[in-house]
Amino acid sequence: MPPDSLPNEPQIDAEELVTGISEWVAMESPSDDPAAVNRLADRVVSECQDVGLAVERIPGEEGWADLVIARSGDSDVDGPGILVLGHIDTVHPIGTKEGDNPLRRDGDRLYGPGIYDMKAGTFMGLYAYRHLRRFERKPNLPVTFMFIPEEEVGSPFSRKYIEAEAAKAKYVLVGEPARHGGKVVVARKGAAFFTLRATGRPAHAGASHADGRSAIKEIARHVLEIEAMTDYERGVTCSVGTIKGGTGTNVVPRECEAQVDLRVITAEDGEEFCHKILSLKPYDPDVTLEVSGGMNRPPYEMSNGGRALFEFARAACLEHDFDLQYTPLTGGGSDGNFSGAMGIPTLDGMGADGAGAHTLEEYILISSLVPRTKMWVKLLERLE
C-alpha cells in the first residue's frame, strides 16, 4: 500500500502524544505500590473501553497490582493475532516527579520517572489502535493488549498469563524503549537471579576470635568465585549486586546474604551456569551455605519469523523516511523474552527513543514519537 493512500499518517499529533504520555507519567506507579499501579490501571481500563476494546482485569496476586488485558473485536479474521505487551509499573518511588526527576520539557527532551522505560511505548501502542479507529480503519488481525503491573521485578504474577496469550498469537509487539538511537530489539539475553545465605558461628572478635566462623568471609570467597564465571566471549555475565551481613564491628558475623545476577545468551548457557551457582559448596565446613534461585527470563534469539517481522516493519517505516535498524542483542530483559523463547515472532524495543532508563535523568525524544507511532499504526493495520 503506497504512502499516499494512507490518510491516517499525517494526522498523528506529536503534542497529543506528549500530553497523553505526560498524564500517564504523572500517575506514578512503582512496582511495589499496588494501590498506585492500580490507579494507573483504572486510567488504562477507561482508555481501552473508550476505543471499544473488551477489557478483562485480573486481580493481582501475592501483593502485586492488577493485570489488564484488552481485546479488539473488529478484525475480520479468527485465529492467531497480534499480542501487544507493555508494562505500567516503574522502578521510581512516589514523589520522584516532584523531586529528583520532575516531569518537564527541555527542547526535544521530555523528562519524567518511567517515561522512557516504558510508559511512552505502552501509551504509543494503545494510541496507534485509537488512531486507526478514528479513521474508521481496523487491524487485519485480532489485537490483544496486556498492561503488565510488575514487569520491573520480573513479572512473577503476570508471566503465566503472558505465556498463555503468546501461545495464541501470531506476532508479539513490545513497547519497551528503543535502543542506541532508535533501534528495535530482536534478541535479548536471559536473566537469572540467586540468593546466597551463609550461616556461621558468632564470637567476640577480640576475646574469642578463633571460636567464630565468619559468614561474611564465606560469602566473600563465593563473590570472587561467581564474578570469575563471567565470560564476555560467550556473553555470560555474573554480578554480585548486594551483600548484607553482620551485627557489629566487634562480632564475628553469624549471617551474610548476597544477591547474584546472571545473564546468558543461550538456554544451554543458562542451564550450565545455573547449575554451577546452585551447586556451590561452603569453603568452611563449619559454615552452612544455602543457594536459591534460577532463571527469571529465558533468553531469546532472532528466529526466521522474527527476522521476517523486522523486515516487514523496516519496509513500512521506509515509507515515511524512517530507516529502522535493530540491535543484535541486549542484556536487559523484558516480557518479550517469554514470547521470543517460545518461538513466537517478537519485535521488541518499539517504544520511544531516549535514554536514562532506571536513572534520575530519564527522558524521551519528542521527535521520535510520530515516526515510531506510524510504525505501530502500520503494523497493527497490515500484519496478516
d(CA 3, CA 318): 10
pLDDT at 9: 57
| Secondary structure class of 196 (helix, strand, coil) | strand
Residue (of 225, 228, 260, 221) closest to 242 by Cα position: 260
Domain boundary among 236, 266, 297: 297
pLDDT tens for each residue of the chain, 384 residues long: 334 445 545 589 999 999 999 999 999 999 999 999 999 999 999 999 999 999 999 999 999 999 999 999 876 677 899 999 999 999 999 999 999 999 999 999 999 999 999 999 999 999 999 999 998 899 999 999 999 999 999 999 999 999 999 999 999 999 999 998 899 999 999 999 999 999 999 999 999 999 999 999 999 999 999 999 999 999 999 999 999 999 999 999 999 999 999 999 999 999 999 999 999 999 999 999 999 999 999 999 999 999 999 999 999 999 999 999 999 899 889 999 999 999 999 999 999 999 999 999 999 999 999 999 999 999 999 999
**Which tens digit of pLDDT belongs to each residue from 185-217?**
999 999 999 999 999 999 999 999 999 999 999
- Predicted TM-score of the model (pTM): 0.91
DSSP 362: -
d(CA 339, CA 173): 10
Q: Are residues 168 and 202 in the same domain?
A: no
pLDDT at 328: 87
Q: Which residue has the cell 489502535?
A: 129
Question: What would the grid cell of residue 189 be?
Answer: 539475553
pLDDT at 112: 98
Q: What is the CATH number of the domain that holds 231?
A: 3.30.70.360
Q: Are residues 101 and 184 in the same domain?
A: yes
Q: Are residues 13 and 130 in the same domain?
A: yes
Q: Are residues 157 and 207 in the same domain?
A: no
**For residue 231, what are the domain limits?**
190-297
Show the CA angle centred on residue 62, arms to residues 59 and 63, nearest 5°: 75
Could you give the C-alpha distances from 149 to 1, 307, 329, 353, 377, in angstroms and in order?
37, 29, 25, 22, 24
Question: What would the grid cell of residue 136 be?
Answer: 474508521
Domain boundary among 278, 297, 316: 297
Residues with Cβ within 8 Å of 112's Cβ and at least 6 positions away in sequence, in order, are: 22, 25, 26, 97, 101, 102, 103, 104, 362, 363
Query: For 358-369, b where at least 16 C-beta lie within 10 A, e where not — what string?
Result: eeeebbbbbebb
Domain count, the chain: 2
Q: Are residues 109 and 8 in the same domain?
A: yes
Q: Are residues 38 and 102 in the same domain?
A: yes
Could you tell me if 89 and 148 are in contact, meaning their C-beta atoms sit under 8 angstroms apart? yes
Domain boundary among 259, 281, 297: 297
pLDDT at 8: 47
Could you tell me if 1 and 382 are in contact, meaning their C-beta atoms sit under 8 angstroms apart? yes
Q: Are residues 168 and 311 in the same domain?
A: yes
Q: Which residue has the cell 574469642?
A: 208
Residue (of 121, 117, 95) closest to 26 by Cα position: 95
Q: Are residues 248 and 353 in the same domain?
A: no
Q: What is the CATH number of the domain that holds 316?
A: 3.40.630.10
pLDDT at 79: 83
pLDDT at 180: 86
Q: Are residues 152 and 9 in the same domain?
A: yes
**Which tens digit of pLDDT belongs to each residue from 133-183?**
998 899 999 999 999 999 999 999 999 999 999 999 999 999 999 998 899
Q: Are residues 155 and 196 in the same domain?
A: no
Q: Are residues 11 and 122 in the same domain?
A: yes
Q: Are residues 197 and 88 in the same domain?
A: no
